[in-house]
C-alpha cells in the first residue's frame, strides 16, 4: 500500500487518524444498523477511507508481532511511513484488545439443528452473532488458526467479528464464502444457494474453485442454481437481507422457483414445482414464516397456477 507523504503532524490529519481507530474498534464488535450507516457516511470522504485502510494495514503488522509472543521482522512495504497519531492509536487499540485474543481463539465446536419454526440466535466465542432459520442444520468449528461454519441445509445470517488474521469461512457443499468482518445471509435449499450481503464484502465461490469467484458488496446478492450450475447477481434493498428474522418476508417480482425454494424451509413436507417455464413466473406479496400455507393458497389468485395434491400427500404447483 502507498503511504502519502506530507505534514503528518497536521491537527486535522491527526483527528482523522483518531476517528479511523475509533471506527475500527466499533466495527470489531458487531455494530448495529445505525452505527453501520454512520460509518458508511464517514467513509464517503476520501481522506477518511484512506486513513481507515492504512489503519487496517497497520493492525495486520501489529498482529504479526503478537503471533509468536516474540519480536519478528515486519514485512517490507513501499514507503513505510506511519503517521504518529495512527501508530499510537493502533498500539493503544492493540493493547486494549490483546486480552481478548486468547479467549476468541479457543477451539469451539457446536452442532445446531433448528426446529420447524422460529429463528434462533447464538453469540459465538469470537464475538460474532449467528442467526439460524427454521429447518436448518449447521456445524460450527473454530480453531486457533481458522473459523469454519458448515451449512448442510437451511439458512443462516452472520454478523461477523473482524479478525484479519483468522478469516471466517462458510461451507455449503463445494461452495465457500470467505469473510473478515461483515454481515451476510446464506440460504441453501433444494434448488438454490443464495448469498446476500448486508454490509461489508464477501468472496463467494459456488464450486469452491478460486477461478469461479464472485465478490459481493453491501446490498448485493448472488444466486447459484444447484441444478444448472449457473450464477447470477442482483442488487437488494438494505431491509431485504435476512428479513426472515422478523417473521415476515416481503417480496416483489420474485421468481416462483426461488420463492418456493425458500418457502419450503417452513414446511414439514416440501412443495413440488412442475418443470418448465413455471419457475420463471414473477410473484409479489408477503410470506408469514409461521404460516407458509397461506401463501400457497393465495398463489392461484396472484399468478396462473394451481395446487394439486399428490398420492404421497405432498402438494405440487402446476400451470393452470
For residue 114, what is the domain's CATH number?
A: 2.60.120.1440
Mean confidence (pLDDT) of the chain: 79
Let me know whether 123 and 214 are in one domain: yes
> How big, in percent rounded to 5, are the helix, strand and coil portions of the chain?
30, 30, 35
User: What are the residue ranges in the chain where pLDDT is below 70?
Assistant: 1-12, 28-31, 56-105, 114-117, 211
Let me know whether 21 and 60 are in one domain: yes
Choose the final residue of a domain: 41, 70, 104: 104
Residue 94 is assigned to a structural domain of this protein: yes
Which cell is 300 given?
Answer: 392461484
User: Residue 273 in contact with residue 317, Cβ under 8 Å?
Assistant: yes
Let me know whether 195 and 125 are in one domain: yes
Strand, helix or coil for residue 65: helix
Let me know whether 234 and 115 are in one domain: yes
pLDDT of residue 111: 82
Distances in Å between the Cα of 154 and the Cα atoms of 37, 124, 134 are: 29, 19, 7
Let me know whether 269 and 175 are in one domain: no
Residue 59 is assigned to a structural domain of this protein: yes
Choose the final residue of a domain: 240, 261, 294: 240
User: Residue 253 in contact with residue 235, Cβ under 8 Å?
Assistant: no
Burial class (CB in 10 A: 0-12, 13-18, 19+), 229: exposed
Residue 6 is assigned to a structural domain of this protein: no
Tell the residue number behind the cell numbers 414439514, with chain if given. 268
Name residues whose C-beta falls within 8 Å of residue 129's C-beta, 6 or more positions apart in sequence: 30, 121, 122, 123, 158, 159
> Which of 307, 258, 262, 306 is CA-nearest to residue 283?
258
Which helix H or strand E contains 20, and what residues bound it? helix 11-27
Residue 125 is assigned to a structural domain of this protein: yes
Domain limits at 235?
108-240
Let me know whether 113 and 232 are in one domain: yes
Residue 4 is assigned to a structural domain of this protein: no
Choose the final residue of a domain: 68, 83, 104: 104
Helix axis angle, 84-104 relative to 46-67, nearest 10°?
A: 50
Distances in Å between the Cα of 173 and the Cα atoms of 189, 192, 193, 194 are: 12, 12, 10, 13
Which cell is 277 given?
Answer: 417455464
pLDDT of 207-227, one tens digit each? 877 767 889 999 999 999 998
pLDDT of 237-262, one tens digit each? 877 888 899 888 888 889 999 999 99
User: Residue 225 in contact with residue 175, Cβ under 8 Å?
Assistant: no
How many domains does the chain divide into? 3
Residue 271 is assigned to a structural domain of this protein: yes
Compute, in degrees rounded to 10, the torsion defined by CA atoms 176, 200, 129, 96. 120
User: Residue 5 in contact with residue 13, Cβ under 8 Å?
Assistant: no
Let me know whether 124 and 76 are in one domain: no
For residue 266, what is the domain's CATH number?
A: 3.55.50.30
pLDDT of 10-42, one tens digit each? 556 777 877 877 777 777 665 677 777 888 888
Cα 20 from Cα 148, distance rounded (Å):
29
User: Residue 38 in contact with residue 22, Cβ under 8 Å?
Assistant: no
Let me know whether 65 and 97 are in one domain: yes
Residue 2 is assigned to a structural domain of this protein: no
Let me know whether 156 and 82 are in one domain: no
Which cell is 54 given?
Answer: 492504512
Let me know whether 207 and 121 are in one domain: yes
pTM greater than the 0.85 cutoff: no
Residue 127 is assigned to a structural domain of this protein: yes
Name the percent of the chain lying above pLDDT 70: 77
Let me know whether 133 and 229 are in one domain: yes
Let me know whether 94 and 73 are in one domain: yes
pLDDT of residue 97: 47
pLDDT of residue 85: 54
Please list the residues that pair with 232 across neighbouring strands.
Answer: 223
CA-derived radius of gyration, the chain: 23
Amino acid at each position: 500500500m502507498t503511504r502519502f507523504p506530507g505534514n503528518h503532524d497536521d491537527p486535522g490529519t491527526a483527528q482523522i487518524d483518531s476517528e479511523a481507530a475509533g471506527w475500527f474498534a466499533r466495527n470489531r464488535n458487531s455494530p448495529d444498523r445505525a452505527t453501520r450507516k454512520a460509518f458508511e457516511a464517514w467513509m464517503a470522504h476520501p481522506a477518511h477511507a484512506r486513513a481507515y485502510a492504512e489503519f487496517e494495514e497497520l493492525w495486520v503488522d501489529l498482529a504479526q508481532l503478537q503471533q509468536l509472543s516474540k519480536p519478528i521482522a515486519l514485512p517490507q512495504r513501499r514507503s513505510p511511513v506511519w503517521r504518529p497519531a495512527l501508530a499510537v492509536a493502533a498500539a493503544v487499540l492493540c493493547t486494549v484488545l490483546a486480552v481478548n485474543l486468547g479467549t476468541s481463539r479457543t477451539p469451539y465446536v457446536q452442532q445446531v439443528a433448528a426446529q420447524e419454526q422460529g429463528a434462533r440466535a447464538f453469540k459465538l466465542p469470537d464475538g460474532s452473532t449467528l442467526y439460524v432459520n427454521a429447518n436448518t442444520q449447521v456445524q460450527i468449528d473454530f480453531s486457533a488458526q481458522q473459523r469454519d461454519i458448515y451449512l448442510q441445509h437451511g439458512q443462516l445470517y452472520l454478523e461477523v467479528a473482524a479478525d484479519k488474521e483468522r478469516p471466517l469461512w462458510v461451507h455449503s457443499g463445494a461452495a465457500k464464502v470467505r469473510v473478515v468482518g461483515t454481515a451476510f445471509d446464506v440460504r441453501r435449499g433444494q434448488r438454490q444457494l443464495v448469498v446476500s450481503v448486508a454490509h461489508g464484502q464477501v468472496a463467494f465461490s459456488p464450486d469452491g474453485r478460486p477461478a469461479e469467484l464472485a465478490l459481493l458488496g453491501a446490498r448485493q446478492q448472488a444466486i447459484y442454481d444447484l441444478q444448472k450450475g449457473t450464477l447470477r447477481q442482483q442488487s437488494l434493498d438494505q431491509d431485504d437481507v435476512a428479513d426472515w428474522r422478523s417473521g415476515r418476508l416481503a417480496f416483489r417480482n420474485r421468481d416462483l422457483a426461488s420463492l418456493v425454494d425458500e418457502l419450503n424451509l417452513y414446511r414439514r413436507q416440501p412443495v413440488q414445482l412442475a418443470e418448465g417455464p413455471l419457475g420463471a413466473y414473477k410473484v409479489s406479496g408477503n410470506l408469514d414464516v409461521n404460516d407458509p400455507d397461506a401463501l400457497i393458497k393465495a398463489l392461484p389468485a396472484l399468478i396462473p397456477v394451481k395446487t394439486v395434491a399428490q398420492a404421497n400427500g405432498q402438494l405440487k404447483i402446476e400451470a393452470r
